[in-house]
Amino acid sequence: MSQTIAVIRGDGIGPEIVESVLRVLDALQVGLTYEFVEAGVAAHQHVGELLPQATIDAILRHKVALKGPLMTPVGGGFSSLNVELRKRFDLYANVRPAITFPGTKARYEDIDIITVRENTEGAYGSEGQTLSDDGEVAQSLIRNTRRGCERIVRYAFDLASKQKRRKVTAVHKANIMKTTSGLFLNVARNVAREYPDIAFNEMIVDNTCMQLVMNPHQFDVIVTTNLFGDIISDLCAGLVGGLGLAPGANIGSEVAIFEAVHGSAPDIAGKGVANPCALLLGAAQMLSHLGLEDEARRVRAAIRETLAARDRLTPDLGGSGNTAGFTDALIAHLKN
């Protein structure tokens, strides 16, 4: 196969971890080629814009992008570049896998949970935010749409079906937020009927948090609205040892962007010690998205083996290695 992807090296440790990930992707020899484009501080320095049109065009052209972490400078015109990208390409599904890897600070063995978070509306959308003149009353609007709920729930069930998963749990607060969360829950129940082979479960968000901590193995795919998904996906990352191994995909009907959840880590940028695993797991999601399921599995297996062997690990993983050596180790552990 031959597929070009747009690659944004990003800010801080971005270029270091992107280089590492591309070396692993090249070692898979699946015919991926790259068009490098800029966004964030790097783009601002070169062309005076945080999100240049050339970058937008390249993402639209190739439909798939791999993105290093971006820094949004204060006063740059965007409140968050990541939020801007989501809006620009209508990336309605934020997909965050949480998988246990050996030798990490995971709280439990064998966790494999995917959180599918609605990415464009709901309470996180922060629409209609106002603060009264006297500063005493603040409010904002929560807006969910049937279309928004339907497409995210359908995405979650389709993903479950594609990956042969057994259960989808819809997380809500419909007992209190009867209209907004109620709409989401009703839609979820209706969509679930279209997928008789996948078990459907519904759970109130506060109970979900407790259940995730006490008995996480009951979960498989979680689907939820924007703000709940923001919180739950980090909770799941905590269950498997934090953000060091947390990837994310932002998926729309046209375009998909794959990334690490962590930021640009300016404190270690340029030192050559960044851990590339979160972005590499994002690249594995990208491979699945491109239909390269075997290669995605090979990448995850290589990470698992490298961590189990504690082979040339970076300092955040308790090793004394560097990014380049760790990447060599990951490539050495790639199996067919």
Residues with catalytic roles = 124, 173, 206, 230
SS3 223: strand
Stretch of 49-57, 222-230, 249-257, 260-268 lying at the interface with ligand ATP (CB under 6 A): 260-268
Interatomic CA distance for residues 211 and 262, integer angstroms: 25
Nearer to ligand ATP, 54 or 235 (CB): 235
- CA torsion 233→235→236→241, rounded to 10°? 130
Among 7, 28, 59, 71, contact with ligand ATP (rule: CB under 6 A)? 71
Stretch of 1-9, 42-50, 90-98, 257-265 lying at the interface with ligand ATP (CB under 6 A): 257-265
What is the nearest approach in angstroms of ligand ATP to the Cβ of residue 41?
Answer: 10
Stretch of 44-52, 191-199, 274-282, 325-333 lying at the interface with ligand ATP (CB under 6 A): 274-282
Nearer to ligand ATP, 92 or 258 (CB): 258
Interatomic CA distance for residues 41 and 78, integer angstroms: 12
323 Cβ neighbours under 8 A, 6+ residues apart: 16, 17, 19, 20, 272, 273, 274, 275, 276, 314
| Cβ–Cβ under 8 Å, residues 225 and 172 | yes
Class of residue 87 by CB neighbours under 10 A (exposed 0-12, middle 13-18, buried 19+): middle
Among 85, 187, 265, 329, contact with ligand ATP (rule: CB under 6 A)? 265
Task: Give the closest residue to 43 by CA, choosing from 61, 58, 33.
Answer: 58
Residue 85 φ then ψ, to 5°: -65, -40
Q: Does 257 bind ligand ATP (CB under 6 A)?
A: no
SS3 5: strand
Among 14, 40, 68, 69, contact with ligand ATP (rule: CB under 6 A)? 69
Q: Does 263 bind ligand ATP (CB under 6 A)?
A: yes
Total residues interacting with ligand ATP, rule: CB under 6 A: 16
Q: Does 267 bind ligand ATP (CB under 6 A)?
A: yes
Interatomic CA distance for residues 68 and 140, integer angstroms: 32
Residue 221 φ then ψ, to 5°: -110, 130
What is the nearest approach in angstroms of ligand ATP to the Cβ of residue 267?
Answer: 5
What is the nearest approach in angstroms of ligand ATP to the Cβ of residue 69?
Answer: 6
What does 60-91 look like in DSSP terms, one character per residue? HHHSEEEE------TTSS-S-HHHHHHHHTT-
Stretch of 100-108, 111-119, 201-209, 262-270 lying at the interface with ligand ATP (CB under 6 A): 262-270
What is the nearest approach in angstroms of ligand ATP to the Cβ of residue 317?
Answer: 8
What is the nearest approach in angstroms of ligand ATP to the Cβ of residue 145?
Answer: 30
Nearer to ligand ATP, 113 or 278 (CB): 278
| Cβ–Cβ under 8 Å, residues 75 and 45 | no
Residues that bind ligand ATP (CB under 6 A): 13, 17, 69, 71, 244, 262-268, 274-275, 278, 316
